[in-house]
Amino acid sequence: MNTYAGKSAVVAGGTSGIGLAIAELLRAGGARVLVTGRSGTGLAEVRDKYDLLTLRSDATVAADRAELADRVRAEFGTIDALFVNAGVAGAGPFEQVTEDDYDRVFDANTKAPFFTVQSLVPVLAAGAGVVLTTSIVNENGLPDLSVYSASKAALRSMARTLGRELLPRRIRVNAVSPGPIDTGILQRSLPIEVAEQMIAGYTESNPMGRMGQSVEVARAAAFLAFDATFTTGAELAVDGGASQL
Ligand SMILES: NC(=O)c1ccc[n+]([C@@H]2O[C@H](COP(=O)([O-])OP(=O)(O)OC[C@H]3O[C@@H](n4cnc5c(N)ncnc54)[C@H](OP(=O)(O)O)[C@@H]3O)[C@@H](O)[C@H]2O)c1
């Protein structure tokens, strides 16, 4: 399958879960793909295993974002797709949230994506697609997710505003909005009993009676980046119907 032959892409936050699934899908289709992450170990693993280009880059650090833009320029000249996928879960019951929790989640999920797009706009080819990873919780009021949900709601808004501002450059900006996806992010980000309780609840309440797989989100993200040529400012849910049924 050479669906993406001749294309190049960056997945910011691409060493595990949904981001890695996007990178794998595009690479299997013939694209050249650069993934970022903070952990050197994760990067070394995926570079060899999946034949990906890698850069250790923390999206919350301005110097790292500038270095990413330089590397993209040197490696590709311009890219056809940018997936802004890195994000963290958190931060617990409303009354226990600290200012540090709030800043950490908004830094990672809202500020870093905004400035990642800004840093990489100069290396986005005309006609390129940007895909932001939001979350279906940005639309409802689930407990313990006040900060996370708000951070993703702000990001959803940016798909609209950046979509508008980048239109003159022929760059489309859309969001893919996962429901509960089995990537381990909850277990890594929350106390294990809270994570397990949430997973059981999601499975039980989901119209399809299961959690989603990363590749199911990856297919939707690739569609938005490459095939949805008359779509910008939109958000596509990948959630087993949870947000609609
Ligand atoms: N899983 C779900 O159920 C679900 C549902 C809705 C939305 N989402 C969203 O989907 C996205 C991916 O989630 P996931 O479950 O696939 O998570 P994951 O498995 O933890 O993957 C996150 C990826 O982002 C990287 N990353 C995290 N912070 C970073 C930073 N500051 N700079 C650069 N890279 C960073 C991680 O690598 P390092 O740790 O090495 O940095 C990793 O490669 C997130 O935005 C998440 O909020 C997930």
Flag whether pLDDT at 56 surpasses 80. Answer: yes
Work out the average pLDDT over 207-224: 98
Q: Is the pTM of this model over 0.85?
A: yes
What kind and span of H or E run contains 130?
strand 124-133
Average pLDDT, the chain: 96
Per-residue model confidence (pLDDT) at position 89: 86
- Walk me through the domains of the chain, giving residue ranges and CATH numbers: 8-235 (3.40.50.720)
Per-residue model confidence (pLDDT) at position 222: 99
Q: How many CB atoms lie within 10 A of CB 154?
A: 17
Tokens of 243: 């947000």
End-to-end Cα separation, the chain, in angstroms: 34
Task: Write out pLDDT tens, residues 60-116.
Answer: 999 999 999 999 999 999 999 999 999 998 778 999 999 999 999 999 999 999 999
Say yes or no: CB of residue 59 within 6 Å of ligand 1: yes
From 43, 147, 183, give the residue whose CB has the most ligand 1 atoms within 8 Å, as the site to mutate: 183
Work out the average pLDDT over 123-149: 96
Task: Write out pLDDT tens, residues 106-128.
Answer: 999 999 999 999 999 999 999 99
Flag whether pLDDT at 23 surpasses 90. Answer: yes
Flag whether pLDDT at 176 surpasses 90. Answer: yes
Percent of the chain with pLDDT over 70: 100
Ligand 1 centre distance from Cα of residue 85 (Å): 6
Which residue puts its alpha carbon closest to atom 45 of ligand 1?
A: 87
Say yes or no: CB of residue 107 within 6 Å of ligand 1: no
Q: What is the DSSP letter of 4?
A: T
Nearest-atom index, ligand 1, CA of 35: 43
Amino acid at 44: A
Tokens of 56: 């250790």
Say yes or no: CB of residue 220 within 6 Å of ligand 1: no
Per-residue model confidence (pLDDT) at position 39: 93
